Amino acid sequence: MRSADAWLIQDATVDGARVDCRIREGRVVELRPGLPGLESESAVSAGGGELLPGLADHHIHLRAAAAARRSIDLGGAGLAAADDDGGTDWLRVIGAGVELTRADLDVRWPHRPVRVQHRSGALWTLNSAALATLRPGASDDELRTGQFWRSTARLRSLLDRAHDADLPGLAAHLAALGITHVTDATPDFTGAPMPQHVLSLGPDSVGPRKIVIPDHEAPDLGRLVNDVRAAHDAGRGVALHVVSAVAMAVAIGALRETGSIESDRIEHAAVCSDDAARALAELGVTVVTQPSLVVRHGAAYLAESLEDERPLLWRYAGLQRLGVRVAVSSDAPYGDVDPWRTVAAAATRLCAGQVIGPDERVAPATAFSSLLTAPLDPGGPPRRVRTGSPADLCLLATSLDDALASALAGEPVAVRSTFVDGQRVYASTGQTDS
């Protein structure tokens, strides 16, 4: 009788060699050519395809990304781009390119309840019909403007709409992309049922503690120092949300005051000068960046940024040259959930025919290697497929070089199978086992 976690992957390429890979009880137990098949296991023919550790998305918002699957995405455009179905039930819109008010939404939707999120994720705006459904708890200013800043969790409770997210659909999509590990970067994240390994940056986790340095109000250095110290005293690093030059200066100041620890990291580093990068390198802090945001919103970033900041936007190669460890991630749903397109974005930085920051481009293999790093050590050494290693695996239909070439050409990458803890969670259509 075959076991659900007993597998033999035949004729796979691992580190340039053609080998067979036997999986038992969530581990790789044998890795060599010519392994005999056993009656208790299912066999998968790799046909020479690359066998890799499962990919890690080091910064994603799971519930928001799942809810985005049931939302209208404006992609940085205005409300005119919202092509809804003309219904009367709730409408969820994301990716607005401008900050909106209640009055703006009422013109477009005078009767249907609608909530719209700015492309940054920092602002939700509700129209009058939506505000009329809220439970008590919104401020007078929020009710007047319809704007809720950095209030996703509170707004969720005010709306009592917990079923917007398609988590099973998102998990299946991530598995089809070869993703086995995700780090949820939502400060109040409390867990999600999905086959992937989930590391939280929320309050109850072994991961670093997410702390948002606000960009719509003046940061409080003293409060930040206290929050960082509290995390360090609890044995946790911090993951500081930094998207402006002011926020970067405050983050560096706080870490100099408290001292940094190995697991401290900066999320985004959307604007980072050479001096700031040198300070981060001195502190030993890792930057987790999102190259796909440059491709998605680069034109808007250039239009909205100061001229002297434009070479400093969403840096990668420049940070590495100055000694900063860097890892890529999606920031989905605000960035592209597809890790292969993230790699292409890091290599090209191409937005609407224009290269945004050519000196920040990196080789595709450089960006890809950070997808193989451990969730608790983004930017560290890549995980490897070895005897005894966890059977969290991504089996490609091609070589890795061919997969990266497909990604650069804008073509989908063919993932043949994905395994998490030795359980196959994705198999491509038409794949046959024996």
Is the per-residue pLDDT at 1 higher than 70?
A: no
* Cβ-proximal residues to 409 (8 Å cutoff; 6+ apart), any chain: none
Query: Is the domain of 241 the same as that of 325?
Result: yes
Query: Is the domain of 254 the same as that of 358?
Result: yes
Query: Is the domain of 134 the same as that of 276?
Result: no
Query: Is the domain of 344 the same as that of 259?
Result: yes
As a whole number, mean pLDDT of residues 129-134 equals 92
In a domain? residue 64: no
Q: Bridge-partner residues for 286, per DSSP?
A: 265
Give the torsion sign (CA, 201, 203, 205, 209). positive
pLDDT at 164: 58
* Cβ-proximal residues to 253 (8 Å cutoff; 6+ apart), any chain: 221
pLDDT at 433: 60
Q: What angle do CA 290, 296, 300 make, to 5 degrees?
A: 105
What is the extent of the structural domain holding 270?
A: 205-382
Classify each residue of 301-310 as buried b or exposed e, where b means 16 or more C-beta atoms within 10 Å of its C-beta: bbeebeeebe
State how far the Cα of 274 lies from the Cα of 172, in Å rounded to an integer.
40
Query: Is the domain of 358 the same as that of 252?
Result: yes
Q: Which of 25-34, 173-182, 303-312, 315-324 has the lowest mean pLDDT?
A: 303-312
Residues 194-241: tens digit of each pLDDT:
999 999 999 888 899 999 998 777 788 999 999 999 999 999 999 999
pLDDT at 373: 98
Query: Is the domain of 397 the same as that of 351?
Result: no
pLDDT: which is higher, 75 or 284 = 284
Domain boundary among 159, 178, 195: 159
In a domain? residue 264: yes
Query: Is the domain of 133 the same as that of 37?
Result: no
Q: Among residues of the chain, what percentage have pLDDT more than 90?
A: 69
State how far the Cα of 135 lies from the Cα of 396, in Å rounded to an integer.
49
Domain boundary among 140, 159, 178: 159
Query: Is the domain of 357 the same as that of 225?
Result: yes
pLDDT at 191: 72
In this structure, what CATH number is given to the domain that contains residue 306? 3.20.20.140
In a domain? residue 170: no
In a domain? residue 36: yes
Q: Number of folded domains in the chain?
A: 3
Is the per-residue pLDDT at 4 higher than 80?
A: no
Query: Is the domain of 267 the same as that of 339?
Result: yes
In a domain? residue 178: no
Is the per-residue pLDDT at 366 higher than 70?
A: yes
Please report, as a single letter, which amino acid is at residue 262: E
pLDDT band for 432, please (50, 70, 90 cuts).
Answer: low
State how far the Cα of 176 lies from the Cα of 171, in Å rounded to an integer.
9
Query: Is the domain of 220 the same as that of 367?
Result: yes
pLDDT band for 371, please (50, 70, 90 cuts).
Answer: very high
pLDDT at 431: 61
Average pLDDT of the chain is: 91
pLDDT band for 3, please (50, 70, 90 cuts).
Answer: low
State how far the Cα of 251 lies from the Cα of 417, in Å rounded to an integer.
41
In a domain? residue 65: no
Query: Is the domain of 371 the same as that of 387?
Result: no
Is the per-residue pLDDT at 177 higher than 70?
A: yes
pLDDT band for 368, please (50, 70, 90 cuts).
Answer: very high
In a domain? residue 153: yes
As a whole number, mean pLDDT of residues 383-390 equals 97
Residues 278-334: tens digit of each pLDDT:
999 999 999 999 999 988 887 777 777 777 777 888 999 999 999 999 999 999 998
Domain boundary among 382, 398, 418: 382
Query: Is the domain of 77 the same as that of 140?
Result: yes
Query: Which CA distances in Å does 429 have to 394, 397, 400, 423?
Result: 15, 12, 20, 17
**CB count in 10 Å sphere of residue 94:** 21
In a domain? residue 199: no
**CB count in 10 Å sphere of residue 377:** 16
Is the per-residue pLDDT at 406 higher than 60?
A: yes
